[in-house]
């Protein structure tokens, strides 16, 4: 059971409306931790909030886009009267699948702002409060994409690599103050976003994780930072970290192409 004395009485889940985010919400509610759920889509957000309230906790919701100029200010205002013991940054699936040099730089900037800028702002704000209290946790939800460069999502992959290295440094900084930091690295996970993208999940040898399983892993391993690779993908992460880089990158590129629907190839 998650320790409410360490990670409560409130948790903030950015990207907390569906998929892995909803699973985090359900598990935190089962542990008796109140929730602030943040997501763009009001209807899934409302549904997840109702499911969490039915488990006996208080829930506040913020239907907002983290790319909005006032997003961080609104989050700070909505939580200023709360004692937040856990931040889960699960937002950031905006991969933008286009080649960099022929793509739209504004869209590229959006990928960076969502996956890096918003994440840093929330970790900075809530991390300082947790450090002062001498307890708490920060979980950044990452991706196997961050272990090597990939065509058409090169900026997204780079942003996820940034997140992992940042988590390692933040873990070192906050560890002496009783604050746990974990980068939870996901592989292919059966989420609504993945299904909407039309990605194939029936390839031989592909490890496909379920949202509730990776949420459980993340919460169980929160104190075991700085990085945990979920869904049985640790060996894949190790292979992607090796050399020679050209061979690894080409091989991963060909494998990832098989995941795409035929129309996207």
Q: pLDDT at position 175, please?
A: 98
User: What single string gives the DSSP state of each residue in 44-58?
Assistant: HHHHHHHHHHTTT--
Query: How many separate domains does the chain show?
Result: 1
- Going by their DSSP bridges, the two strands 84-89 and 59-63 should be labelled as unpaired
pLDDT digits (tens, 9 = 90+) for 79-118: 999 999 999 999 877 777 889 999 999 999 999 999 999 9
Residue 195 has pLDDT above 90, yes or no: no
The arithmetic mean of pLDDT across residues 64-73, rounded, is: 96
CATH number at residue 85: 3.40.50.720
Residue 264 has pLDDT above 50, yes or no: no
C-alpha span between 90 and 207 (Å, rounded): 21
User: What single string gives the DSSP state of each residue in 128-169?
Assistant: HHHHHHT-EEEEEEEEGGGGS--TT-HHHHHHHHHHHHHHHH
- For residue 32, the enclosing domain spans 4-264
DSSP H helices in the chain: 4-7, 19-30, 42-53, 71-79, 105-112, 118-133, 154-174, 192-197, 211-220, 234-240, 245-257
Residue 262 has pLDDT above 50, yes or no: no
How far are the Cα atoms of 200, 243, 245, 258 from residue 249, in angstroms, in the given order?
20, 10, 6, 15
Q: pLDDT at position 191, please?
A: 74
Q: Which residues are catalytic?
A: 156, 160
**In sequence order, what are the beta bridge partners of 11?**
35, 86
C-alpha span between 1 and 171 (Å, rounded): 22
Global pTM exceeds 0.75: yes
Residue 197 has pLDDT above 80, yes or no: no
Residue 38 has pLDDT above 80, yes or no: yes
């Amino acid at each position: 059971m998650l320790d409410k004395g360490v990670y409560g009485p409130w948790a903030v889940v950015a990207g907390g409306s569906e998929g892995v985010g909803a699973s985090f919400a359900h598990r935190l509610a089962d542990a008796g931790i109140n929730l602030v759920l943040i997501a763009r889509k009001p209807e899934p957000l409302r549904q997840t909030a109702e499911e969490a309230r039915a488990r006996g906790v208080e829930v506040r919701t913020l239907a907002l886009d983290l790319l909005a100029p006032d997003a961080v200010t609104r989050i700070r205002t909505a939580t200023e009267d709360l004692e937040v013991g856990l931040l889960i940054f699960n937002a950031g699936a905006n991969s933008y699948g286009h080649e960099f040099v022929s793509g739209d730089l504004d869209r590229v900037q959006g990928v960076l702002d969502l996956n890096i800028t918003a994440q840093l702002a929330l970790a900075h704000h809530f991390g300082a409060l947790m450090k002062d209290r001498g307890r708490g946790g920060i979980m950044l939800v990452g991706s196997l994409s961050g272990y090597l460069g990939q065509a058409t999502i090169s900026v997204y992959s780079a942003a996820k690599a940034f997140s992992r290295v940042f988590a390692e440094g933040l873990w070192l900084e906050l560890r002496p103050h009783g604050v746990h930091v974990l980068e939870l690295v996901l592989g292919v996970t059966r989420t609504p976003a993945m299904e909407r993208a039309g990605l194939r999940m029936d390839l031989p040898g592909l490890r496909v994780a379920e949202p509730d399983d990776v949420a459980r892993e993340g919460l169980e391993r929160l104190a075991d930072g700085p990085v945990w690779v979920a869904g049985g993908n640790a060996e894949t992460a190790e292979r992607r970290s090796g050399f020679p880089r050209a061979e690894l990158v080409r091989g991963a590129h060909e494998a990832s192409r098989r995941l795409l629907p035929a129309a996207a190839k």
